Amino acid sequence: MAVLTLIATCATSSAYAASYALPENGDDVIGAVTTLTLTYEDTLAAIAEKYGIGYRELVDANPDVDPWLPGEGTRIRLPTAYVLPSAPREGLVINVAEYRLYYYSPDGTKVVTFPVGVGRMDFPTPLIQTKVRTRIENPSWTPTASARREHAEMGDPLPHVVPPGPQNPLGHLALQLEVPGYFIHGTNKPFGVGQMVSHGCVRLYPGHIETLAALVPNGTSVYVVNEPFKVGWRGGELYAEAHKNLYAPNRRTDLVRRIVMATEQHSDSATTGVDWQRVDELGASLTGVPVRL
């Protein structure tokens, strides 16, 4: 089983980042789902930031819980188990469907994962392969014409350049990508992490971007993918994880195709051993929690 360690960060927001040992046997699932008992004052938004989890993934993992008034003694699931995306296990992999970034260490022994905020429906995060160009401390933000127009319509006109400071949505640290205009950055509004909030960039909790920037050298590969369905193996058992496709309708055929591909890669496995009723339930619930098939 992949081993979890916690990396301390430098900000009070999101005190830890999760680092897992990559399975040496080629398995695809890391982490484990844990539970937490809430107090009367808790909200899922506060719990998400405290434990370094994205808001949307916490809500999806607990569909029967009121996110703003969960209630004293309510037990929730912390969705801290993951089927690794099918992208190459190198550099940075961002799966927009699960609002999550994975960083694979250069020696291939561990993966560190962070929740992220991604582009809104009208400004989707592009599915690209690129590289980290450079690290920028206290970045300025140059809004696009559409961003300035949108803010003006809301009565909040923007200057042509937003200087560093508390009003800058890039936060205090950014990784500039080789694709012009796109960044992986911090934020001045942590609640947006784990939601569709940006104009296409990828945002992290302030403490998480510090940790990530310390780990990632310039030239690191970046793969941005959209995998609402992920399928993989752990200990000879098949698991699947289902999320809402943010930019298009979910298609059950995509989940079935991934299951068939995964079983064909194991000569001692067959799709006849798959619990297809469980597959249907998984495709309907979209909790983002890995389920054994």
Q: CA–CA separation, 279 vs 265, rounded Å? A: 19
Q: What is the mean pLDDT of the segment spanning 197-222?
A: 91
Q: Indicate the pTM of the whole model.
A: 0.88
Rounded Cα–Cα distance for residues 115 and 49 (Å): 10
CB neighbour class for 72 (10 Å; exposed up to 12, middle 13-18, buried from 19): exposed
Distance separating alpha carbons of residues 61 and 221, to the nearest angstrom: 30
Does residue 201 carry a catalytic annotation? yes
Catalytic residue of the set 172, 199, 201, 208:
201
Domains, the chain, ranges and CATH?
Answer: 118-221 (2.40.440.10), 229-292 (no CATH)
pLDDT of 1 higher than 50: no
Q: Which residue has the tokens 């930031």?
A: 49
Sorting pLDDT into bands at 50, 70 and 90, what band is 26? confident
**What is the reported pLDDT for 171?**
81
Whole-number Å distance between alpha carbons of 91 and 56:
25
Q: How confident is the model at residue 38 (pLDDT cuts 50, 70, 90)?
A: very high
Tokens of 189: 């509004």
**What's the pLDDT score for residue 271?**
54
Catalytic residue, candidates 172, 185, 199, 243: 185
Q: What is the pLDDT of residues 136-172, one digit of tens each?
A: 888 777 666 666 666 666 666 665 666 676 777 788 9
Residue 251 has pLDDT above 90, yes or no: no
Token code pair at residue 112: 């560190």
- CB atoms inside a 10 Å sphere around CB 77: 17
- Mean pLDDT, range 26-35, rounded to an integer: 90
Q: Count Cβ atoms below 10 Å from residue 262 Cβ, excluding itself.
A: 23
Whether 198 has a pLDDT exceeding 90, the answer reads no
- 91 and 222 in contact (C-beta within 8 Å)? yes
Phi, psi of 153 (to 5 degrees): -65, -25
Q: What is the pLDDT of residue 29?
A: 94
Per-residue pLDDT tens digits for 103-138:
999 998 999 999 999 988 888 889 999 999 999 888
pLDDT of residue 150: 66
Query: What's the chain look like in SS3?
Result: CCCEEEEECCCCCCCEEEEEECCCCCCCEEECCEEEECCCCCCHHHHHHHCCCCHHHHHHHCCCCCCCCCCCCCEEEECCEEECCCCCCCEEEEEHHHCEEEEECCCCCEEEEEECEEECCCCCCCCCEEEEEEEEECCCECCCHHHHHHHHHCCCCCCCCECCCCCCCCCCEEEEECCCCCEEECCCCHHHCCCEEECCCEECCHHHHHHHHHHCCCCCEEEEECCCEEEEEECCEEEEEECCCCCCCCCHHHHHHHHHHHHHCCCCCCHHHCCHHHHHHHHHHCCCCCEEC
More confident residue, 60 or 158: 60
